[in-house]
């Protein structure tokens, strides 16, 4: 028997799963995609300046290397184009149910009853039987809108960075940007170029390091395409640099001070005004929040038409943003306020064995063995699940490890029945994770999207990525119970 598999999401993770199934000759799967196109986060985040700060030669599938990247850090359209290319090349579009959202899934003792309906409608729902559910909804798919008094009264145009209003021309306008994370750092320079005046509301400064972008000329692209092993070696070099230099900086290792020095040197080189520099200097260790990798952010903040306001926002009025220093009148507000990152899998209602609810089980923070398997939820597998995010390397590497693990699981669940991670394996996993977490920089000293309101780090993987690969490559057999 080949298992019937429901994949939720057609972003980097869901597409990877579908392609690996196709490669294995398994076609008994369907991909549910709430939007009308593939791409996930790379479809949703189309704000001006959007791109990846991990070089694309690494931030791409190992089985679909691509010599045609036009630069080291290409923009969002090119990354989305790559995903569309993969969906076409491996012919997985035919299996994707676009504009269809999964609302709930329940384990019935043998498999999963998956209920879906047309996105955004209260229309008729459809329930189908699958053996396996692979949830590939990502960690950063639901925009976080802050709760600020008076937001609803604003008379101008307001939108979140992941829902950019491309029909709204910013030329000459007075714009407010709230938030200064990785997204805002990318779109602020573009907004500053167009706006008449830009006020950036920064609650907490970020550590920023340069982004060594460079164009790949047709000659370099040809070399990467034709010279045997060159692209592979380049990919390997980027991976090793991230693992060998950036990871130790987050784990209290040899490069911790180096990262700080590099970020401070970047700030001093790009910002001459000591007052602005002081505002932009963080008081927590680098890496505690995701380090911003960008060379255009600071110069944008030094433009004559840009102000950085660090007073606390007290409310939004019909005319603008009010802080302790008064009202900042604007006609556009862009919320670069991040995502509901710790609410994994919300708003899907998942019911496991004996009627247990996933969101109830995770009320103090999401957890899963390898970030993939959840006790009490047989044959449910997660991609980019709890504790699999990285602050230093390519998440696509992690996704491939997870897909690899799931592929290893399939023969077991086919021959032995529904598989569920053993409680003692889960307990040991949690203990090891907690121990490894102690030495990581993101535990104390800052607020970040890596943590729940209670301070538990539910998003990040605390180890080196080769270790994760080793753990996900082991035979899954003994880790699970069956039936």
Task: Decide: is 477 part of the binding site for ligand NAP (CB under 6 A).
Answer: no
Task: Decide: is 468 part of the binding site for ligand NAP (CB under 6 A).
Answer: no
Total residues in contact with ligand NAP, by rule CB under 6 A: 25
Distance CA 373, CA 107 (A): 14
Judged by CB under 6 A, the residue of 2, 70, 119, 204 near ligand NAP is 204
Distance CA 302, CA 144 (A): 28
Task: Decide: is 158 part of the binding site for ligand NAP (CB under 6 A).
Answer: no
- Whichever of 447 and 474 has its CB closer to ligand NAP, that residue is 447
Which residue, among 168, 205, 173, has the nearest Cα to 305 in the 3D structure?
Answer: 173
- Whichever of 34 and 392 has its CB closer to ligand NAP, that residue is 392
Q: Which two tokens stand for residue 408?
A: 């290893």
- Applying CB under 6 A, which part among 91-99, 315-323, 330-338, 466-474 lies near ligand NAP? 330-338
Distance CA 265, CA 271 (A): 10
Q: Which two tokens stand for residue 132?
A: 């396996």
Q: Give the DSSP letter of residue 126.
A: E
- Applying CB under 6 A, which part among 75-83, 99-107, 178-186, 234-242 lies near ligand NAP? 178-186
Distance CA 380, CA 39 (A): 22
- 479, 425 Cβ separation under 8 angstroms: yes
Distance CA 199, CA 157 (A): 15
- Applying CB under 6 A, which part among 85-93, 114-122, 174-182, 352-360 lies near ligand NAP? 174-182
At its nearest, how many Å lie between ligand NAP and the CB of residue 477?
34
- Whichever of 147 and 360 has its CB closer to ligand NAP, that residue is 147
Collapse the DSSP code of 209 into the 3-class scheme (helix H, G, I; strand E, B; otherwise coil) and give the result. Answer: strand
- Helix H or strand E encompassing 320: strand 320-323
Distance CA 93, CA 86 (A): 10
Judged by CB under 6 A, the residue of 19, 170, 178, 301 near ligand NAP is 178
- Helix H or strand E encompassing 225: helix 218-226
- Whichever of 301 and 313 has its CB closer to ligand NAP, that residue is 313
- Whichever of 199 and 337 has its CB closer to ligand NAP, that residue is 337
Task: Decide: is 286 part of the binding site for ligand NAP (CB under 6 A).
Answer: no
Distance CA 109, CA 20 (A): 27
- Whichever of 150 and 417 has its CB closer to ligand NAP, that residue is 150
Distance CA 305, CA 292 (A): 23
Judged by CB under 6 A, the residue of 100, 180, 394, 459 near ligand NAP is 180
- Whichever of 146 and 196 has its CB closer to ligand NAP, that residue is 146
- Whichever of 23 and 163 has its CB closer to ligand NAP, that residue is 163
Can you give the C-alpha Rg of the chain in angstroms?
Answer: 23
Per-residue interface string for the shown chain with ligand NAP, residues 43-82, x marking contact by CB under 6 A: --------xxxx----------------------------
How many Cα atoms within 13 Å fall on the side-chain side of residue 318? Answer: 1
- Applying CB under 6 A, which part among 116-124, 126-134, 182-190, 297-305 lies near ligand NAP? 182-190
Write out the residues near ligand NAP by the rule CB under 6 A: 51-54, 140, 146, 148, 178-184, 186, 203-204, 290, 313, 336-339, 447, 449
């Amino acid at each position: 028997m080949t298992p019937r598999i429901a994949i939720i999401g057609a972003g980097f993770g869901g597409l990877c799963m579908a392609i690996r199934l196709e490669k294995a000759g398994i076609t008994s799967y369907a991909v549910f995609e709430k939007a009308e196109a593939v791409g996930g986060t790379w479809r949703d985040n189309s704000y001006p300046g959007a791109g990846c700060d991990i070089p694309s030669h690494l931030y791409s599938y190992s089985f679909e290397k691509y010599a045609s990247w036009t630069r080291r850090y290409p923009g969002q359209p090119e990354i989305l184009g790559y995903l569309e290319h993969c969906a076409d090349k491996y012919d997985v579009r035919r299996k994707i149910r676009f504009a269809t959202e999964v609302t709930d899934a329940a384990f019935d003792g043998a498999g999963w009853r998956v209920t879906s309906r047309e996105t955004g409608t209260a229309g008729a729902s459809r329930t189908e039987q699958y053996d396996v559910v692979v949830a590939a909804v990502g960690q950063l798919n639901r925009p976080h809108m802050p709760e600020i008094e008076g937001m609803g009264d604003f008379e101008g145009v307001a939108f979140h960075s992941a829902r950019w209003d491309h029909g709204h021309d910013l030329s000459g306008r007075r714009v407010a940007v709230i938030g200064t994370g990785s997204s805002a750092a990318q779109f602020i320079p573009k907004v500053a170029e167009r706006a008449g005046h830009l006020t950036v509301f920064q609650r907490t400064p970020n550590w920023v390091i340069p982004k060594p972008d460079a164009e790949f000329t047709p000659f370099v692209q040809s070399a990467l395409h034709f010279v045997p092993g060159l692209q592979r070696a380049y990919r390997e070099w980027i991976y090793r640099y991230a693992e060998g230099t950036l990871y130790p900086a987050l784990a209290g290792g040899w490069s911790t001070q180096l990262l700080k020095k590099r970020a401070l040197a970047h700030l001093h080189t790009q910002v001459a005004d000591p007052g602005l520099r002081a505002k932009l200097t963080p008081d927590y260790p680098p890496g505690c929040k995701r380090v911003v990798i960008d060379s255009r952010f600071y110069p944008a903040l030094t433009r004559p038409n840009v102000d950085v306001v660090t007073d606390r926002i007290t409310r939004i009025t019909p005319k603008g943003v009010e802080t302790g220093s008064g009202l900042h009148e604007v006609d556009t507000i862009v919320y670069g306020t991040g995502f509901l990152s710790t609410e994994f899998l919300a708003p899907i209602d998942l019911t496991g064995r004996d009627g247990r609810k996933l969101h109830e089980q995770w009320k103090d923070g999401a957890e899963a063995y390898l970030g993939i398997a959840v006790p009490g939820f047989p044959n449910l597998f997660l991609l980019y699940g709890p504790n699999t995010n990285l602050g230093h390397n390519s998440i696509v590497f992690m996704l491939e490890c997870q897909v690899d693990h799931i592929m290893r699981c399939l023969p077991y669940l086919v021959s032995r029945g529904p598989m569920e991670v053993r409680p003692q394996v889960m307990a040991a996993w949690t203990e090891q994770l907690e121990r490894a977490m102690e030495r990581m920089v993101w535990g104390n000293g800052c607020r970040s999207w890596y943590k729940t309101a209670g301070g538990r780090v539910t998003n990040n993987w605390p180890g080196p990525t080769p270790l994760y690969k080793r753990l996900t490559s082991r035979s899954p057999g003994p880790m699970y119970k069956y039936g």
